[in-house]
Amino acid sequence: MSLEYRLEDRFTPSPDCSCEICRSFCYRPGWWTVEQASEAMLAGYSNKMMIEISPDFKFAVLSPAFKGCEGLIAINEFSKAGCTFFFNRLCELHGKSIQPLECRVCHHSITGMGLKCHLEIEKKWNTSEAQDLVVNWMELTNFWVKLQNAPDFLKSANGKLNYNKD
């Protein structure tokens, strides 16, 4: 029998810092835990999310979107636009329960903890319960309709995703 654990209990938040290094972490969206993503959806942020697909196309992660990629698949071309929640060098989610755990852990003085946190979050997303949330988000945001109207480079992942589109 495996004991369930909350990632928030394993990874404590870093101290607040607004140095250039720490602010640069805010530019690329960090990952929510599955529970945080669900809470963000309930709070009305579904339209500011995107899905990131695992390299093997076996699972997806709901994360804050790159600006311009809201409601779609994460595409590298949009990554330079930054996180949709990052305005005027400040995070709209900072200090809230839905500030992504991965963002809370990143800090200029802590090396390696961000990667450990990322890998633990990834494990939690690679579950059937988490993928049910992804499907729920796809239905809520009309993902498949948007994908049909998207540029061809976004559509290329369509045939590789293992989700029910009907």
- Residue 6 maps to a domain: no
> What pLDDT, on a 0 to 100 scale, did the predictor assign at position 63?
95
Closest by CA to 48, choosing from 91, 102, 101, 106, is 91
- Residue 38 maps to a domain: yes
Closest by CA to 51, choosing from 127, 165, 161, is 161
> What pLDDT, on a 0 to 100 scale, did the predictor assign at position 75?
85
- Residue 7 maps to a domain: no
From CA 49, how far away is CA 40, in angstroms rounded? 9
> What pLDDT, on a 0 to 100 scale, did the predictor assign at position 2?
47
Helix (H) or strand (E) holding 24: helix 20-27
Output the average pLDDT for the chain. 80
- Residue 11 maps to a domain: no
- Residue 37 maps to a domain: yes
For the chain, how many structural domains are there in total?
1
- Residue 12 maps to a domain: no
Q: Does residue 46 contact residue 65 with C-beta atoms inside 8 Å?
A: no
> What pLDDT, on a 0 to 100 scale, did the predictor assign at position 144?
85
> What pLDDT, on a 0 to 100 scale, did the predictor assign at position 1?
39
> What pLDDT, on a 0 to 100 scale, did the predictor assign at position 151?
61
> What pLDDT, on a 0 to 100 scale, did the predictor assign at position 166?
46
- Residue 135 maps to a domain: yes
Rg, Å, the chain Cα set: 16
> What pLDDT, on a 0 to 100 scale, did the predictor assign at position 106?
67
> What pLDDT, on a 0 to 100 scale, did the predictor assign at position 165?
46
pLDDT digits (tens, 9 = 90+) for 81-90: 889 998 887 8
In the predicted model, residues of the chain with pLDDT beneath 70 are 1-18, 22, 25, 106-113, 150-166
Closest by CA to 37, choosing from 146, 137, 114, 156, is 137
Domain that holds residue 123: 18-160
From CA 153, how far away is CA 31, in angstroms rounded? 24
From CA 16, how far away is CA 26, in angstroms rounded? 12
- Residue 27 maps to a domain: yes
- Type of residue numbered 115: L
